[in-house]
Amino acid sequence: MLNPKDAQYWDETDLKKEVDRIFDICHSCRLCFNLCPSFSNLFKYIDQDDGEARKLQRAELSHVTDLCYQCKLCDVKCPYTPPHDWGVDIPRLLLRDKAVRVKEEGVSLQDRFLGNPDRTGKIGCSMASLANMANTNAIARRIMHETVGVHKDRNLPRFAENTFERWFHTRTRSLKSEKKVALFYTCFVNYNGPEQGIAAVEVLEKNGYEVIVPKQVCCGMPFVDGGDVARATANMEENVASFQEILDAGFPIVSPGPTCSYVIKKEFPYFTQKEAAGLMAKRTRDLCEFLMELKSKKQLNTEFTHTPSMEIAYQIPCHLKAQNMGYKSVELLRTIPNVKVELMENCSAMDGTWGMKKQYYEISLKIAGKLFREVENNAPDAVCTDCPLSALQIEQGTGKRPVHPVEILHRAYGIS
């Protein structure tokens, strides 16, 4: 498949031929008819055009593209993804369509605002009290709704007064060990949920690993969401360069964020076309995946000291499903005595910045309705998900605030 570094990637005539080819395959198959609004609208439009994908109008294609929130579930379900000769990859096809359009029209103000969490996070954390107050103020939210397109009723993550990066580099005690692991901590952990990063570091140390935190920037996925592939690629290349010493030393890399671990594994090599990015992809593990690998080698510390009876409703994020690694977080939680885990597989439809946008807020809640009902029917002691934006959506729809699996493990270890 073409990538953005190929000149042909930006050729609209070639893009149209590829759209017609792949949409014709999808229309004949329809296996993904109920996965997301992109497919239901795609099939509706083609049916209206005498069943011929080539008759799809530009406005119809743009609508299908904009409804894709890059969950990647169609890649999991599709029988024709690479290395199949047909090479069907709907998320990358629709991203290409958006990227070509953005190159012509420019990045929207909405996507410029939502696509740069490092900028927003630094500003928000520098004035956390004021920013958090603004995020819950009706007048401020109405202004955001009208100017940058963040829905006025969307709950937003709180900014931390002390970032994870600052905590890590100023902590007074840390483990020194021959076993080392590098942490790609994620923007959310750094600016909004440092407690998840702290739990990750202390759980890894509990298992005998010295944690290294190289300089890093956003993985680039928010730029991808907005079709700004140039900025996305720049961030990816900066991270690969920053992790070069880790790669040279042969240390594993872990991330507590499913989207970030997915992007490092799948998108870094595709966008950058760099050998080092391919190596970084091979070395990267989702945090719970890494811990379960330790368990498979009988190296996971299972000296749990705080294990009250607990029922957990766990939602698996789409970007973990897309990594084809099984249910590592569920397996990890089930290693804790007295813990019962109910698996929830419905999508939260938050998917990065998509569910924050005023034009998609209502539909994202509608799609997430099945998940909300699952949470309420399970009536758990705790709700759990690896994805912080899924957690945000679940909290919006149910009032229950989910935690990351590593936070449950951290409590079970009794780490103070």
pLDDT digits (tens, 9 = 90+) for 328-343: 999 999 999 999 999 9
Residue 1 lies inside a defined structural domain of this protein: no
Q: Name the domain boundary from 268, 295, 322.
A: 295
Q: What CATH number is associated with residue 176? A: 1.20.1050
The string of DSSP letters for 341-359 reads: EEEE----S-TTTGGGBTT
Would you mind telling me the total number of residues written for the chain in this entry?
Answer: 416
Per-residue pLDDT tens digits for 15-67: 999 999 999 999 999 999 888 899 999 999 999 988 899 999 999 999 999 99
pLDDT of residue 1: 76
Q: Which helix (H) or strand (E) holds 413?
A: helix 405-413
Residue 199 reports pLDDT greater than 80: yes
Residue 154 lies inside a defined structural domain of this protein: no
Phi, psi (deg, nearest 5) at residue 374 = -60, -45
Question: When comparing pLDDT for 411 and 49, which is higher?
Answer: 411
Q: Which helix (H) or strand (E) holds 180?
A: strand 180-183
Q: Name the domain boundary from 147, 174, 199.
A: 147
Widest Cα–Cα separation across the chain: 68
Q: Mean per-residue pLDDT for 198-224? A: 97
pLDDT of residue 172: 85
Burial class (CB in 10 A: 0-12, 13-18, 19+), 105: exposed
Residue 260 reports pLDDT greater than 80: yes
Total structural domains in the chain?
4
Q: Mean per-residue pLDDT for 269-297? A: 98
Residue type, 316: I
Q: Name the domain boundary from 232, 266, 295.
A: 295
pLDDT averaged over every residue in the chain = 95
pLDDT of residue 50: 85
Residue 16 and residue 198: Cα distance in Å, rounded? 48
Residue 217 reports pLDDT greater than 90: yes
Those residues whose C-beta lies under 8 Å from the C-beta of residue 227, and which sit 6 or more positions away, are: 95, 98, 99, 101, 102, 107, 111
The string of DSSP letters for 271-331 reads: HH--HHHHHHHHHEEEHHHHHHHHHHTT-S---------EEEEEEPPHHHHTTT---HHHH
Q: Mean per-residue pLDDT for 368-382? A: 94
Residue 159 lies inside a defined structural domain of this protein: no
Do 86 and 98 lie in one domain? The reply is yes
Do 28 and 97 lie in one domain? The reply is yes
Q: What CATH number is associated with residue 392? A: 3.40.50
Residue 295 reports pLDDT greater than 70: yes
Do 253 and 337 lie in one domain? The reply is no
Residue 152 lies inside a defined structural domain of this protein: no
pLDDT of residue 256: 98
For residues 394 and 375, the answer to whether their CB atoms sit within 8 Å is yes
Residue 305 and residue 87: Cα distance in Å, rounded? 50
Do 259 and 186 lie in one domain? The reply is yes
What percent of the chain lies above the pLDDT cut of 90? Answer: 94
How many CB atoms neighbour CB 212 within 10 A? 16
Residue 153 lies inside a defined structural domain of this protein: no
The string of DSSP letters for 233-258 reads: HHHHHHHHHHTHHHHHHT--EEES-H
Do 324 and 404 lie in one domain? The reply is yes
Do 184 and 285 lie in one domain? The reply is yes
Residue 408 reports pLDDT greater than 80: yes
pLDDT of residue 49: 81
Backbone torsion region of residue 243, taken as left when φ is above 0, otherwise alpha when ψ lies between -120 and 50, otherwise beta: alpha
* Tokens coding 329: 């977080």
Do 98 and 200 lie in one domain? The reply is no
The residue whose two tokens read 């909290």 is 395
The pLDDT-based confidence of 379 (bands split at 50, 70, 90) is confident
Nearest to 45 by CA among 31, 29, 24: 24
Q: Mean per-residue pLDDT for 155-163? A: 96
Q: Which of 91-100, 169-178, 219-228, 301-310 has the lowest mean pLDDT?
A: 169-178
Do 66 and 49 lie in one domain? The reply is yes
Residue 157 lies inside a defined structural domain of this protein: no
**Range(s) of the domain holding residue 131:** 109-147
Do 230 and 307 lie in one domain? The reply is no
Residue 314 and residue 212: Cα distance in Å, rounded? 29
The residue whose two tokens read 């005539």 is 13
pLDDT of residue 78: 94
Residue 156 and residue 188: Cα distance in Å, rounded? 11
Per-residue pLDDT tens digits for 205-216: 999 999 999 999
Phi, psi (deg, nearest 5) at residue 407 = -70, -35
Residue 198 and residue 15: Cα distance in Å, rounded? 45
Residue 156 lies inside a defined structural domain of this protein: no
Phi, psi (deg, nearest 5) at residue 384 = -140, 140
Do 330 and 279 lie in one domain? The reply is no
Burial class (CB in 10 A: 0-12, 13-18, 19+), 190: buried
The pLDDT-based confidence of 147 (bands split at 50, 70, 90) is very high
Q: Which of 50-54, 146-150, 380-384 has the lowest mean pLDDT?
A: 50-54
Task: Quote the pTM value.
Answer: 0.95
Do 284 and 392 lie in one domain? The reply is no
Residue 129 lies inside a defined structural domain of this protein: yes
Residue 416 reports pLDDT greater than 80: no
Burial class (CB in 10 A: 0-12, 13-18, 19+), 80: middle
Do 394 and 349 lie in one domain? The reply is yes
* Tokens coding 75: 């890649």
How many CB atoms neighbour CB 266 within 10 A? 18
